Amino acid sequence: MHAADRTAVIAPDGTFTYRNLDEAAERVCAALADGASNLNEARVAYLVPPSFAHVAVTRGIWRAGGIAVPLAVSHPAAELEFVIRDADASIVIGDPISAAMLEPIARRAGARFALTTDLLARAGSRTFSSSSFAPDRRALIVYTSGTTGKPKGVVSTHGNLAAQIGSLIDAWAWTRDDHTLLVLPLHHVHGIVNVVGCALSSGATCEMLPAFDTEAAWERLASGEITVFTAVPTIYHRLIASWDAASAGVQRARSEGCRRARLMMSGSAALPLQTLDRWREISGHTLLERYGMTEIGMALSNPLLGERRPGSVGSPLPGVDVRLVDDAGHEIADGTAGELEVRGPGVFLEYWRRPDETRSAFRDGWFRTGDVAVVEHGAYRLLGRTSVDIIKTGGYKVSALEVEEVIRAHPAVSDCAVVGIVDPEWGERVSVAVELHARAALSLENLHAWAKARLAPYKIPRELHCMPSLPRNAMGKVLKPEVAKLMQADESGAAKSPGHS
């Protein structure tokens, strides 16, 4: 079969070959350029659910010489308008469902509005210049989740994206025979690069669900046709709950289907050990954990072949340089915790129109991730964010991630988030918000008694908040600043203890 006739995308809007994708991208390119020779890095924002249309629009924007600015399907109008205005988008694209909300926003921002259906239905094509894909040309602006403030536009060039994708195809051995299932949103690098980018750059098939649906995902995994699957811990948690609730026959079919996959991965948030263990029991797969950020793509990964250490994010990916430094920026020895810094061709170009923040994000050419890690047995283990996950209490530095991993093992706890709350005596007090299992109960006294055998006294939370659900972003990552705000607003309902015991 000719490469162009191979299946590229299976999605709610149909099944399409690589030839279909090429032709659709040409039509989108012609419609966007509208007679101009090149969009000259004009920003094109688009709100399109995971679909063939989404991929065709992205490629059409690039062919026309524009910068793709994918919008989050889950975001309210106010957040979409912020991104459109911050990016200074000159064109806004929406599907027929989002048009009623999106067109007025585009009009207020002075942008031209276009429907995906019109772009894809346009007759004819337009020859594009290969210079549209020049390595130093801006290609993509992805907005950070805003966990540490107002979202920032992370600008990646075509060269950055090619380096990120090439590194992963090499490390994870993608081939044209792979068939992946996308269950992630497409305004985040996990879906854009790790799934769609890798699949289509290697000639594989990318199957898409319009949004994550537990039963639909299990139906495809049980088929045995999916060879590569990647998701976030929240999704694995839901898949496990569905498997547990299924009949013995369905369980058996699902497990057998999973075993026919060659690779299953987890990322975008810390993977609880209990989730890793349970998924291995169900699927036969030890999930491959890796580490990346919007600004760098992926930097570290457990091996495709060889031991995958629970709680570890592995070693540097091909073409990526990584180091750990102290507060002064000096490299430190293995076994000592330090800030993770990354260098390589996949590292982003800039924060959009934020030169001061771009400068402060780098040190001697290295990107400062803000994550603290330690090297153990040649592999990196994350301890948390310098800003939100390292709690300074009574002269000690406490890793919130370490405490969370322990507390998640409590029989009453479904999930938890540990944060530091300002305290006049201790500097910060270790505090925890928990989601409980159905019909479970937990008191601070019970938690203390249970944790004493598992944590040093200064690591044990001295404040407990039970919440129906923890606040999360679209990728399932807990928004710790929001957790802290909720805790402070709920001071009267918190259970507290006076100090380190």
CATH number for 88: 3.40.50.980
pLDDT means over runs of 10, the chain (501 residues): 91 97 95 88 98 98 97 89 97 96 97 97 71 94 71 96 98 98 95 98 97 96 98 92 97 98 92 92 98 97 95 96 95 92 98 96 96 93 81 82 91 94 84 95 95 89 95 86 88 62 47
Give the number of C-alpha atoms closer than 13 A to the C-alpha of residue 353, restricted to the C-beta side.
8
Measure Cα distances from 469 to 420, 441, 463, 486 in Å.
19, 15, 17, 11
Residue 332 within a domain = no
Domains: count for the chain: 2
Of 76, 111, 133, the residue at which a domain comes to its end is 133
Q: State pTM to two decimals.
A: 0.85
| Token output for 135 | 């390595």
Residue 193 within a domain = no
Per-state percent for the chain, helix, strand, coil, to nearest 5: 35, 30, 40
Q: What is the pLDDT of residue 11?
A: 98
Of 133, 158, 184, the residue at which a domain comes to its end is 133
**Residue 205 near residue 6, CB atoms below 8 Å:** yes
CATH number at 438 reads 3.30.300.30
Residue 402 within a domain = yes
User: Residue 17 belongs to what domain range?
Assistant: 3-133
Q: What is the pLDDT of residue 147?
A: 46
